[in-house]
Chain A
């Protein structure tokens, strides 16, 4: 994308007026998507973006500028803008030695988005539409979406990092509306991986479509969710997002440094049930939050955050790590070259336990079984969270019974972690998009079936 020689010159210029760290992040990304809705191939879209972001760190201050002009002159202009935060005149001569890192190659068996015809991509959506609609007469509307991206990045900094990577991601989703006497209900399913079109050799799109359709249909006969404090069993893979939101964000070093996390100063303390081991792992093969390097050029790592209930470490990016005089944990990520990196999760999950999911349900007299959690929100300073249940059932006398209408779970992250009293052995990871400070990045969230002793259920009106 940019030669090593130009990178060296630009970095030297970036720190020529002072500053202890400068970085250039260049990105070339092609993406395409297809949308099927209302029985029609509604839209195919293709996009291209290319550019570089340059940052200069002077003390506690970061200057940043980005440009779509990757020529030497364009990059130099961005470097000048970024270094405007450095006030000293500087000597103007600083040499930067770069150490090129391992070259990361894509897997040999990858099917790149560009190698697959648009027709084939559309056929997946048509097939999902067909399957969803034939599931039940009450299916009234189906929409399906496909997306892929091929991103090449180059990161270099004044510490000598010079790294490149190529990342291919593919996703598919289906959303179904069912109509009955009680009104309309919806069902949604998605699959997404850091891989190419070969993903569809493993992903059963018909199953996704029928899962979504059945979910919508079942909810037509759902009763209002009960409200109040109840035991909740989260199905394996259904609720990892709760731990991502309610615990993961509070373990990001930027929140710790700014005193806006409940986990500040708690390393070495028991912060969760001893059944809990929480990991953030950017190396899990092909998962949505996986990459060989983070967006600061550091190899991805598997980081243990909580071990047997004891807080072991936070997640770090370059900037926060420098301040605390330690190494980054490979958690520096950004949405694009137009954004500054910050501490972000990759794939965050609870390690599985030894119980059988059936046993956990049998041992719950009265509670709620959550088969799918929707999105959520958390206040990292207090740990308070809210999550939507998009597929849930009543548990009565140890058995899953009636489906429940959509409602919210509400609680406090640290309390929930302490309140987990059973962890099963059926681990799985689900893809998601994590938003922080206006930036979105792909992440994975995972967990086995777990039981939370008590959590507040918002209830559906009339519940």
Chain B
């Protein structure tokens, strides 16, 4: 990490009078293993690093990046960032952040022992997962892939306006994708487990999820069209929350792209809904001590008992909105500038488990997967229409599997029609935690 700081300091020290300079320097080490049919299909080990340089001068911003720490490439990025700034439109709100008084929390997101595990151990884990899935059920014909992956990443953000943050984290996962066949019909299902090192992975869960999700869809048919209650599996809720988070971005509000603009303190959801973005929760996949601009992460309440509490902001959008940053700057890596985003959303859980929620539904459908989210959900208008598959619920019991149907509503209406949140919060590698969610009045179209 010291090396990154040295490189960042060298970049920032080249600031010319009147220039604000930010250096973001990142280093990753990755292992990726794919198993197929009892043998290693791919094994990849690599390190990568790079730098992103942001320069603000006379309220104009320029950016450039280099996918290497090679001095000539870093020099290129510095010169280009400076040149790019001269072409941007002047904007009085532009400028790098300055330190605030929120102290960083001590989050334990790094596991020293990850690097001590041999590649062979990691290969064995993936092999074991593949055979666990294969032997779990006669209908599992093959496992398309069983994977192990880990990443150790460190990053430094440094500016000449006083921001300084270094952070690191490890992440490890296993996943399997099962193919089930019965009576000439094929269905697929995936399962995974994530943690910060090998010992935190739950192989049984990954294997049984893949098997269950693939086999329980066998024999699925197209359901008749109807309006009904939908129970979303935790993973699907994660996807929904990730979409909703975009509408709660202060940047979207400012630019007239949020359907929640101007609705602060209004009832935007049913009273069952309380939504928080808390990247200081170490269980969250998106947890981090600092945001991408170097501010200490903090917990932000977005919706409380259905009432809209606030939006997420980075430095720029906060200045424009006349508020303080919520430390919600995120970046896709060194090759992009920070933008506003949620990192660790979760719905305040209810009291019932998924089986108990099923018991409470007279006529509905448990949705296990949704597809076509990018095309079928318009986060600006709120229109929502996606493909789905899952199991019918009749008189409080799971019934026959269904597929090739769509569910449609609008984001606004779905939030208002949430009738229950499960107690099964699950931290998923995404910006949001999963939890079972019951929503009424969704149009289901099949036959």
Contacts and interface: CB of A to CB of B under 8 A. Distances in A.
A85 interface: yes
Contact of B375 (A45, A49, A228, A376): A376
B179 A259 contact: yes
Interface in A135-168: 140-141
Contact of A408 (B36, B62, B372): B372
B65 A406 contact: no
Interface in B336-358: 336-337
29 contacts: A45-B64, A47-B335, A49-B50, A50-B67, A59-B39, A63-B42, A68-B67, A81-B45, A118-B87, A183-B382, A186-B380, A227-B408, A258-B36, A258-B144, A259-B142, A381-B144, A385-B387, A387-B372, A405-B383, A406-B378, A406-B381, A406-B383, A408-B387, A410-B372, A456-B446, A457-B445, A458-B386, A458-B445, A461-B413
A81 B68 CA distance: 19
A122 B39 contact: no
Interface in A371-398: 373-377, 379, 381-382, 384-388, 390
A49 B66 contact: yes
A386 B84 contact: no
B257 interface: yes
A190 interface: no
Contact of B46 (A60, A65, A385): A65
Interface string A42-77: 111111111100000001111111111000000000
B14 interface: no
A21 interface: no
A374 B375 contact: yes
B15 interface: no
A235 interface: no
B381 A184 contact: yes
Interface of A: 34, 37-51, 59-68, 81, 84-85, 118-119, 122, 140-141, 177, 179, 183-186, 225, 227-229, 258-260, 262, 338, 340, 373-377, 379, 381-382, 384-388, 390, 405-408, 410-412, 456-463
A118 B68 contact: no
A376 B372 contact: yes
Given A118-B87, A179-B256, A408 B44 contact: no
Given A45-B84, A85-B40, A186 B89 contact: no
Nearest to B378: A406
A410 B375 contact: no
Nearest to B65: A47
Question: What are the 6 closest A-B residue pairs judged by CB atoms, nearest first?
Answer: A388-B375, A458-B406, A386-B372, A49-B67, A386-B387, A374-B375
Identify which of A43, A186, A225, A460 gathers the most chain B CB atoms within 10 Å of its CB: A43
B395 interface: no
Contacts of A118: 83-84, 87
Interface string B29-54: 00000001101111111101110000
B311 to A, nearest CB: 16
Contact of B84 (A46, A51, A186, A376): A46
Interface string B76-115: 1100110111011101000000000000000000000000
B447 interface: yes
A307 B142 CA distance: 31
B117 interface: no
Nearest to B383: A406
Contact of B63 (A43, A60, A185, A186): A43
A229 B141 contact: no
A239 to B, nearest CB: 12
Contact of B62 (A44, A66, A141, A185): A44
B375 A46 contact: no
A228 B67 contact: no
A140 B255 CA distance: 9
A65 B32 CA distance: 10
B42 A459 contact: no
Contacts of B141: 259
Nearest to B35: A61
A386 B374 contact: no
A374 B80 CA distance: 35
Contacts of B69: 68
Contacts of B385: 225, 388, 406-408, 458-461
Contacts of A382: 186-188
Identify which of A81, A262, A458 gathers the most chain B CB atoms within 10 Å of its CB: A458
Given A51-B68, A375-B375, A408-B375, A186 B256 contact: no
A40 B406 CA distance: 39
Contacts of A228: 225, 445, 447
A43 B142 CA distance: 48
B384 interface: yes
Contacts of B48: 66, 68, 338
Contacts of B44: 63-65, 340
Contacts of A379: 188, 371
B73 interface: yes
Nearest to A407: B385
B166 interface: no
B65 A390 contact: no
A64 B381 CA distance: 44
A41 B89 contact: yes
A60 B255 contact: no
Given A43-B61, A64-B42, A64-B44, A381 B188 contact: yes
Contacts of A373: 375
A338 B67 CA distance: 11
Given A385-B387, A386-B372, 5 more contacts: A49-B50, A66-B48, A406-B375, A411-B404, A461-B408
A382 to B, nearest CB: 6
A458 B376 contact: yes
Given A458-B408, A461-B408, A141 B256 contact: yes
A46 B53 CA distance: 10
B256 A140 contact: yes
Contacts of B405: 410, 456
A140 B254 CA distance: 12
Contact of B381 (A81, A122, A141, A186): A186
Contacts of B410: 461
Given A40-B91, A377-B371, A412 B63 contact: no
B301 interface: no
A47 B144 contact: no
A141 B408 contact: no
A34 B443 CA distance: 41
A382 B41 CA distance: 23
B182 interface: no
Contact of A85 (B43, B179, B374, B413): B43
Contacts of B222: 456
Contacts of A390: 375
Contacts of B142: 258-260
B88 to A, nearest CB: 5
B230 to A, nearest CB: 12
Identify which of A41, A258, A410 gathers the most chain B CB atoms within 10 Å of its CB: A410
Contact of A460 (B63, B65, B67, B383): B383
B226 to A, nearest CB: 11
B7 interface: no
Given A44-B84, A47-B64, A186-B380, A384 B403 contact: yes
B46 A338 contact: yes
Contact of B43 (A62, A122, A185, A385): A62
B271 interface: no
B445 A456 contact: yes
B70 interface: yes
